[in-house]
Structure 1
Amino acid sequence: MSIPFIDLKTQYQALKPQIQARIDRVLEHGQYIMGPEVAELEERLGAYTGARHCVTVASGTEALLISLMALGIGPGDEVITTPFTFVATAEVIVLLGATPVFVDIEPDTCNIDASLIEAAITPRTKAIMPVSLYGQPADMDEINDIAARHGNIPVIEDAAQSFGATYKGRKSCNLSTIGCTSFFPSKPLGCYGDGGAIFTSDDAIAQACREIRVHGQSRRYVHTRIGVGGRMDTLQCAVVLAKLERFDWEVEQRIAIGERYNHLVDQAGIARILQRGDRKSVFAQYTVLLDERSAVQSALSKNNVPTAVHYPVPLHRQAAYSSSYRHIDLPFSEGAATRVMSLPMSPDVSALDQKAVVTALSLAVRSIKGLCREP
């Protein structure tokens, strides 16, 4: 058995003519920065989510950074977020001189626990940044209601893993003040390098984001605000445009594959991340929960079943951040970091491969449990 963790090769073969045609068009017109594909992609993605504005940027990290800059967040400000996420979520807050305020997660979804957010709000709170982890949005209505009760605090959905997901029938990236996504190759909608996008229906925020991504320019060589070099390359926009050709099908496949995994994993008696009934995950990762993770990973590796851990150390325990959070107690985040393990997941994984993966997983878990019971 040899199963790719993320099968980008099969996807490429299915879309090769469209991808090549899109790339060739860019090579012919030669507008590698801010070419016509940039505006075309922004229009298509905005229509897909329902947001009034889409601003493409250089990466998902840049999307978060530019969004915070557009809100004027800086030294002395606080941003409430989750510690159980990729480091970029907190990194951008710290880069601007603000302070991440970490709130613990729900143990069954690993998303931020919305019921804990209100107690973390202070007069310095300038934004709330939930993460739609593993492709499933957090409880955005409850988070938005909390933000509204406290003076309409802006809510930024870190939707790096959830483009294409829905929450109560609404698209991820259009669930709050701002939505940010990533087009890193492994994401549900990926390019062949770095890329990202910001979504908002607030005209002023959109204008600020557009200016910030081009060094704060309102027009050529007129710099009205501090900015960054944050544009998404035309070639990467062309790749995403080609991939949109079958994205609806891929979302359907991801949901079906995720549900099939759920059935197989439940049959095997293995704990997993749960999906709430009012939302549809795009399963950027398919994640189970294990007590003897390292041993299971080792056993699966011997059977050529790739796995990954998202994420092994919560942010408040990372060396770059831990000195500021020495006394903080976030038990569910810390517990999840020792137990989560992701299985092979992509729109092209077959039912047979899924069964083989879960069979190997089940055998490994049973074998290790047996060894652990020995005197």
Structure 2
Amino acid sequence: MNIPLIDLKAQYESLSKELNEATLGILSSANYIMGKTVLDFEKKFVNYIGVKHAISVGNGTDALVLALKAMGIGKGDEVITTPFTFFATAEAISAVGATPVFVDVEKETFNIDVTKIEEKINSNTKAIMPVHIFGQSADMDEINEIAKKHNLKVVEDACQAIGGKYKGRNIGSLGDVACFSFFPTKNLGCAGDGGMIVTDNDEIATIARALRTHGSGENGQKAYNLLNNIEEEVQTAEGANDTVYNPLKYYNYLIGYNTRLDAIQASILNVKINEIDNWNAKRREIVSIYNEALQNNDLVTPVAKDYNEHVYHMYILQSENREEIISKLKEAGIATGVYYPVPLHLQKVYKDLGYKEGDMPVAEYLSHRTFAIPVYPELTKEQVDYIISKIK
């Protein structure tokens, strides 16, 4: 039996009729850039997360970059984050000219250790960027309290956590701004790249909308006026087709980016978002089977805080014998993944920041012990039983 770590073909086949109709509808409409389909998805996302604004962008990394930029974070600023995550988290901070400041993580949840945040705050600190790693919320009450005390912004990196909850509240509605990724392997994934910024802050939303399209057009003028305290009538181009011609795109007000969610990807996401809660529930069902079966050995199963609703983007096990287990599972046709083999503070690109081995002992400990096994919702009972039997 061969079981991939994530089976995108199985997910496509479960929705092939609806997905084919949606994508072909975009192709036949010839409205490929922005337009109604993208707006419809943004509205669905607003309602799903429970926020005022959703600004779709080209990918999750761009979402993080634009969110930081829209809050005015840049050169000379510092942003506190975790070293145990995908590189894009810290990369986005560096991309706006700021410096990532790493705080070690909790051994149980892999999330940022809130007890270690305040000691890293100084006059240059402008924000805290927690990552809801593998689909479980960080301790947001404590993070928000620290942020309020020190007048800092909070940016949720929710790229792995669509549909998760913290004390009954949706991940993505817990900070000043939150960012999501729709990379194909995410719990809610498209057929390429895609991302989303969400916020209740009108100013952040206006600037982010301007930044995603070269700082131009109606949103560019709104953002420029906002940043310069100008009150004037904003130009509009009713019925303009962004695919073919929009006269306002040639009027630029900010230095921005070119990062839009493709209309075909939005059409796919409009279908898939209706399934996300069921898919996440199926993941939790599989996890409960794993947790029960994988007891009484040297494996450490993941811990979910009782106040969190975990969505298990990945099911992460820990073992001192990781490499041997991975090798045996590969022989049995079971794919695994190591998340993350090198914590961010030890990546060569951040050598100049002066971190060394031993600075983040928990993240370093986890990097040598953690590995993921399949947990996608399309797994069959036969496959789950096979995975458990081979691990045992």
SS of residue matched to 1:175: coil
Residue number in structure 1 paired with 2:140:
140
Q: How many angstroms apart in 2 are the aligned matches of 1:231 and 1:34?
A: 7
1:120-153: per-residue Cα shift (whole Å, max 9, x none)?
11111111100010111111111011101112x1
Residue number in structure 2 paired with 1:230:
259
Shift of 1:222: 2.6
Alignment partner of 1:293 is 2:322: yes
- Please say which of residues 247-256 and 101-110 is displaced more in the overlay: 247-256
* Cα pair 2:298 2:319 within 8 Å, conserved: no
Alignment partner of 1:350 is 2:380: yes
Residue number in structure 2 paired with 1:333:
363
Q: How many angstroms apart in 2 are the aligned matches of 1:238 and 1:293?
A: 40
Shift of 1:267: 4.8
* Cα pair 2:85 2:344 within 8 Å, conserved: yes
Q: How many angstroms apart in 2 are the aligned matches of 1:107 and 1:353?
A: 29
Alignment partner of 1:11 is 2:11: yes
1:356–1:269 distance in 2 versus 1, CA, 3 Å: farther
Shift of 1:313: 0.2
Q: How many angstroms apart in 2 are the aligned matches of 1:194 and 1:145?
A: 34
Q: How many angstroms apart in 2 are the aligned matches of 1:170 and 1:268?
A: 35
Q: How many angstroms apart in 2 are the aligned matches of 1:263 and 1:51?
A: 37
* Cα pair 1:110 1:273 within 8 Å, conserved: no
Question: What pairs with 1:200-219 in structure 2 (closer than 5 Å)?
Answer: 200-219=199-218
* Cα pair 1:135 1:282 within 8 Å, conserved: yes
Q: How many angstroms apart in 2 are the aligned matches of 1:68 and 1:304?
A: 42
Alignment partner of 1:272 is 2:315: no
Q: TM-score, normalised by structure 1?
A: 0.94
Shift of 1:268: 4.6
Shift of 1:272: 2.1
* Cα pair 1:264 1:355 within 8 Å, conserved: no
- Please say which of residues 349-358 and 291-300 is displaced more in the overlay: 349-358
1:285-337: per-residue Cα shift (whole Å, max 9, x none)?
00000112112111110111100011100011111112313347110010100
Residue number in structure 2 paired with 1:116:
116
Question: What pairs with 1:127-276 in structure 2 (closer than 5 Å)?
Answer: 127-151=127-151, 153-219=152-218, 220=248, 221-268=250-297, 270-276=299-305
**Unmatched segments (≥5 aa) in structure 2:** 219-247
Residue number in structure 1 paired with 2:40:
40
**Unmatched segments (≥5 aa) in structure 1:** 363-375
Instruction: State the number of aligned residues.
Output: 361
Runs of 4+ with >4 A deviation: none
Shift of 1:350: 2.2
The AA in structure 1 aligned to 2:127 is A
Residue number in structure 2 paired with 1:303:
332
Q: How many angstroms apart in 2 are the aligned matches of 1:323 and 1:265?
A: 42
* Cα pair 1:18 1:242 within 8 Å, conserved: yes
- RMSD of equivalent CA atoms: 1.2
Q: How many angstroms apart in 2 are the aligned matches of 1:255 and 1:171?
A: 17
Q: How many angstroms apart in 2 are the aligned matches of 1:310 and 1:160?
A: 15
* Cα pair 2:315 2:373 within 8 Å, conserved: yes
Shift of 1:175: 1.2
1:79-127: per-residue Cα shift (whole Å, max 9, x none)?
0000110000001111222110000000111110111111111111111
